[in-house]
Amino acid sequence: MENGKILVVGATGRVGGATVEELLGAGFEVRALVRSAEKGAPLRSLGAEVAVGDATAPDTLGPAVRGCSGILSALGAGPGRGAPEDVEYRGNLNLLSAALEAQVGRFVYSSVLMADHPLAQRIGAFREKARFEQELLAAGDLSSTILRPAIFMETLDMMLRGSVAFIPGRQRRPVSFIAARDIARAAVRAFQADILGRHELAGPDTTTFDGAFERLGKVRGKKIRALHVPLAALRVPGRFSSYVRELANMMALFDAVGFATDPSVLLDTFGVPALTIEEWANETR
């Protein structure tokens, strides 16, 4: 697939926003689905067409998908965005239905590593992503690609408060990291080269959270102290906050089995030379 218009859903998020830029840079026409015209202004300034709609509101999707040859879904059910079942599963299912009705030929989906692991079923976003993966793979009238990325490198900045990194759990097992822009580049290559199927994605660095923060601190010229917060400390606030509960369950998964995968797929299958933690840190500081 070398041309055509791509609808990017989740375009204001990390992966979706980076994919808009990468698609435009590769010569694709891009339409970004946003929930308000105001949110779409930065994307419009990049050269993307903007469609106002919501994946959880099926009646808004017809005009958004019309005329598109492909869809990239990077929907995420973060704080304030709705329940995982409504966003990650039903929202994507609405998109898939609209794509089939409009005879869109390609669907690239940004999922998550280990979405179907038994311990991941306690994590709403993981569980609902795995459910949608099955629906997408069973849809016979379009070609699909599922990307399963490891931990975003951007998560490291989210865990920092000044020079202290707050890490829930012991986290002694290895985890893989990947830059959001490298996921976006893989998505573009999936469209360009018709790379189909399900693929686990990681950058070249597999380490612990402590190791990642040590390396990040060296690039940024400061010592980052890792403070490990017992997972039990999140359980009480997790009773009142779905976000905290999701975080606790996700970190419990990492604590128990790690979150690592083969880093060679990104280069060997998608032709993307992934950033190291140091390269990403230099780009973003």
Tens digit of pLDDT at every position of the chain (285 positions)? 666 899 999 999 999 999 999 999 999 999 999 999 898 999 999 999 999 999 999 999 999 999 999 999 999 876 656 788 999 999 999 999 999 999 999 999 999 999 999 999 999 999 999 999 999 999 988 999 999 999 999 999 999 999 999 999 999 999 999 999 999 999 999 999 999 999 999 999 999 999 999 999 999 999 999 999 999 998 888 788 888 888 999 999 999 999 999 999 999 999 999 999 999 999 987
What Å distances lie between residue 136 and 100, 131, 144, 145, CA to CA? 11, 9, 7, 9
CA 9, 13, 17: angle at the middle one, nearest 5? 75
Give the count of alpha carbons within 13 A of 32, CB side only. Answer: 31
Q: Which residue has the tokens 């949608």?
A: 132
Nearest to 96 by CA among 127, 53, 141, 126: 141
5-284: which CATH architecture? 3-Layer(aba) Sandwich (3.40)
DSSP-derived letter for residue 90 is I
Distance from chain centroid for Cα 25: 20
Contact 148, 200 (CB under 8 A): yes
Nearest to 270 by CA among 191, 216, 210: 191
Query: Could you tell me which residues come within 8 angstroms of residue 221 by beta carbon, excluding any fewer than 6 positions away?
Result: none
CA 114, 17, 73: angle at the middle one, nearest 5? 50
- With the CA atoms of 69, 74, 77 and 79 taken in that order, what torsion angle do they form, in degrees rounded to the nearest 10? -120
Strands 160-161 and 151-152: unpaired
| Spatial distance between the Cα atoms of 265 and 201, rounded to a whole number of angstroms | 6
Beta pairing partners, 34 = 52
Distance from chain centroid for Cα 93: 17
Tokens of 169: 């759990």
